[in-house]
Amino acid sequence: MFYTKLGQELTERGHQVKIYVGATQSYAANDSIVRVYNDDKIAALFRNPPEVVSSNIMVMSDIDQLRYLLMYQSCYCDDLLSNAEFMEEIRHADLVVGEILYLCSALVADKFDLPHVIISATSLSTPTGLGFGLPSPPSYVPQWGASLTKELTFVDRMKNVIQWLLLYVHYIYDLCPMFNELKVKHGITPSKNIYETLGRVDLVLGQMDFVLEGQPRPLLPNTRVVGPFLPSPPKPLPDELDQFMQEAGDEGVILVSFGTVVGELDESLLQMMTEAFSKLSQKIIWKLTLKDASKVSASENVKVLSWLPQNDILGHPKTRLFIAHAGINGIYESTYHGVPMICSPFFGDQPVNAQMAKQAGFAEVLDLKATSAEDFVSLIHKVLIQPSYRESAERISKSIQRLPRPPIKEAADWVEYTQAQGGLQYLRPRGLDLPFYQLYLLDILFLAFLVLVVALFVVRYLLKSVISCLSRSSEKEKAH
């Protein structure tokens, strides 16, 4: 969706744009600029998942989720690099655009020596951001997955440093070797190591608003934070849905949606939510798959839909609350329209997004799988009644809606600028290519330490010599 929005903007400006998508991602193939390739290795991974993968990604550990994501990325990238027809098309392109969580675009750009633009849909603190040298000092920037506030105590900073080290080890020992195998297999720039290839970027476009993320952070000259692409002013709702909204009166409507990635929900969870919604005076619009919808017997105040215009419902004046899984698109749309949230993250970046939303003041976080109907209803009432949640959401909404230039247009401006310049390597700090000891001046500090030690040794030697001379002189005087 991010690519398509940017691609449409560039197409309207007269550029030829192609978006490459694997066949298993059929939901993304409904646009004229999308090109679909056979991702047989991904299909095989789905059919025969490795032992590290359980039947349900939502109950996997964080480490197993990362390993599965790496396997997924590797297979998906291998399928694209193996497609001779598409590789020939890309060879004649002027520029490659990728996404920060999927580093295949770095291999493609390096293979054909093309300018490379990266879109960061979520925080710039993602583990893959290490490849591009994005600064994320653990002394005051909470690391990905650390679940820390912006005011770090001594203990928090210790945890932050440990998390930074874990992410760095994951990048060096898990991610890089897997992509290096693809690099070698497809003969991509044998003269370079994998770190040089993965770090090959001309421009990073961030969508995360600093007001939403909670604090400013250092940025490199080749990084531009433009704001979220997808949220937009709401369109009129279909008549039946608009009538349901209007019937809610002053109590308003609660939107409940867990996106397309979470999939089917446990029956016990569905029953708990059904019980909770029946106790509310608000109208409920609940997005469920057809299979899940057949398992619930919703009360009269609940409207169950298999598809809904999420952005337009969130922008409706009757919408009071958004209950979701904390997908980044839902976070952006909710804040754009100033709607408070209750987040129940399941996997991936969702826990990080949920924690960020809570720290920003417009959301609460809970685990729906471990919550009773009574506690769920109590939390809904809390977020609806306390004005601080909506005030925080509206504050962030103003910061996004009043940006000097629409994010998608500014992003397209920078992509065009990168293409016109033939790359922006001149914005890449020299420090990213320096060894660790040179970057942090450890070699100079070591030399200064040696000089100091030698100087102290010389001073000590001179003092001993002077004292010794004085002592001998004193003994001679006594002798006389």
User: Per the structure block, which two tokens stand in for 401?
Assistant: 């809606």
pLDDT at position 64: 66
Q: Flag whether 454 is in a domain.
A: yes
The predicted model gives 261-273 an average pLDDT of 79
User: Looking at the structure, do residues 131 and 90 belong to the same domain, yes or no?
Assistant: yes
- Give the model's confidence band at 233: pLDDT under 50 very low, under 70 low, under 90 confident, else very high: very high
Domain match, 150 and 190 both = yes
Last residue of a domain, one of 377, 401, 425: 401
- pLDDT at position 57: 52
With a cut of 60, say whether residue 405 has pLDDT above it. Answer: yes
Statement to judge: residues 295 and 362 lie in one domain: yes
pLDDT in tens, 65-109: 667 777 888 888 999 999 999 999 999 999 999 999 889 999 999
Residue 53: the pLDDT is 54
> Is there a single domain that holds both residue 263 and residue 199?
no
The DSSP symbol for 266 reads P
Higher pLDDT, 170 or 451: 451
Is residue 437 pLDDT above 80, yes or no?
yes
Taking only the tens place, the pLDDT of each residue in 167-205 is 888 889 888 999 999 999 999 999 999 999 998 899 999
**Alpha helix positions (H), 186-238:** 194-198, 210-213
Single residue among 401, 421, 452 that ends a domain in this structure:
401
Do residues 123 and 149 both lie within one domain?
yes
Residues 144 and 185 in one domain: yes
pLDDT on residue 31: 79
Say what the pLDDT of residue 71 is.
Answer: 82
The verdict on 376 and 389 lying in the same domain is yes
Q: Which domain holds residue 462?
A: 438-479
Provide the domain count of the chain.
3
C-alpha pair distances (Å), 135 with each of 9, 115, 217, 361, 383: 30, 21, 8, 26, 35
Q: What are phi and psi of 283, to 5 degrees?
A: -80, 150
Shared domain for 44 and 166, answered yes or no, is yes
| Owner of token pair 């991610």 | 175
Q: Compute CA distances 8 → 55, 229, 311, 409, 411, whole Å.
A: 37, 12, 19, 11, 12
Same domain, 350 and 246: yes
Together in a domain, 176 and 27: yes
Q: What CATH number does the domain containing 344 carry? A: 3.40.50.2000
233 belongs to a structural domain? no
Span 8-65, pLDDT tens digits: 999 999 999 999 998 887 777 777 889 998 888 877 877 776 665 554 555 555 566 6
Instruction: Tell whether 395 and 342 lie within a shared domain.
Output: yes
| One domain for residues 377 and 408 | no
Q: Is 234 a domain residue?
A: no
Kindly report which listed range (105-119, 139-153, 300-314, 408-422) carries the lowest average pLDDT score: 139-153
Among 401, 423, 454, which residue terminates a domain?
401
